[in-house]
Structure 1
């Protein structure tokens, strides 16, 4: 069973999820799913694109779907994730915790963010 990639070549969809789980780099995902990309975009945002694709996949129930439907959805999710970062920066989407935690548009969590040295030294003076 196959469906068509961006360049018109048939895409092998047999056991597509298992095959995707075994891939190790972003370029392999794009090749297997038949999605074209700009190497400059991928060089800058590869981890963000793959993380976003994973988030999209996690939101969708692919169980009990035929391989062809799973492959088509995975391909669409990769295209969507790629487009997210081809048109804006990783700081816009903030898919990683470190970026979420340091979002200037988000109010800071309660509690002290600065601990004065005097307060640390006072705890040693008591001992």
Structure 2
């Protein structure tokens, strides 16, 4: 079975961490589970390598995402848009920028 198919069966942050053999503190997961999984996704998305990730690359991205929240918190890391907006960080999609019509 491919790693993508195996990962499709994982349901929680704990499942992902266990699957990749990453020791974790349940207290960190309880507070930051969605933030960790989103950061994991972001790290995978922004990899320089265009080839499909290997098991080790998936593991490294997840371990890095988890460690971000062991040493910090959700408000500091600003993973989700709501925290970015609260800090005054805004993004505007290019598709919404147009010339004004006379």
TM-score (norm 1): 0.63
Q: Gapped runs of 5+ residues in structure 1?
A: 1-13, 110-127
More strand by share: 1
Conserved? CA contact 2:13–2:37, under 8 Å:
yes
Choose 1 or 2 for highest CA Rg: 1
Q: Gapped runs of 5+ residues in structure 2?
A: 92-102
Match of 1:102 among 65, 86, 92: 86
Do residues 59 (structure 1) and 43 (structure 2) align? no
Aligned-CA RMSD value:
2.0
1:28 deviates by 0.6
Give distance in 2, aligned partners of 1:72 and 1:108. 34
Count residues in correspondence: 89
1:89 deviates by 0.8
Give distance in 1, aligned partners of 2:19 and 2:83. 29
Match of 1:74 among 50, 58, 75: 58
1:78 deviates by 0.7
Q: Deviations over 1:45-102 (max 9, x none)?
A: 1110000000001112342x6xxxx110111111100000000011111111111111
2:21 matched residue in structure 1: 34
Give distance in 1, aligned partners of 2:42 and 2:89. 24
1:22 deviates by 2.9
2:74 matched residue in structure 1: 90
Give distance in 2, aligned partners of 1:19 and 1:62. 19
1:107 deviates by 6.4
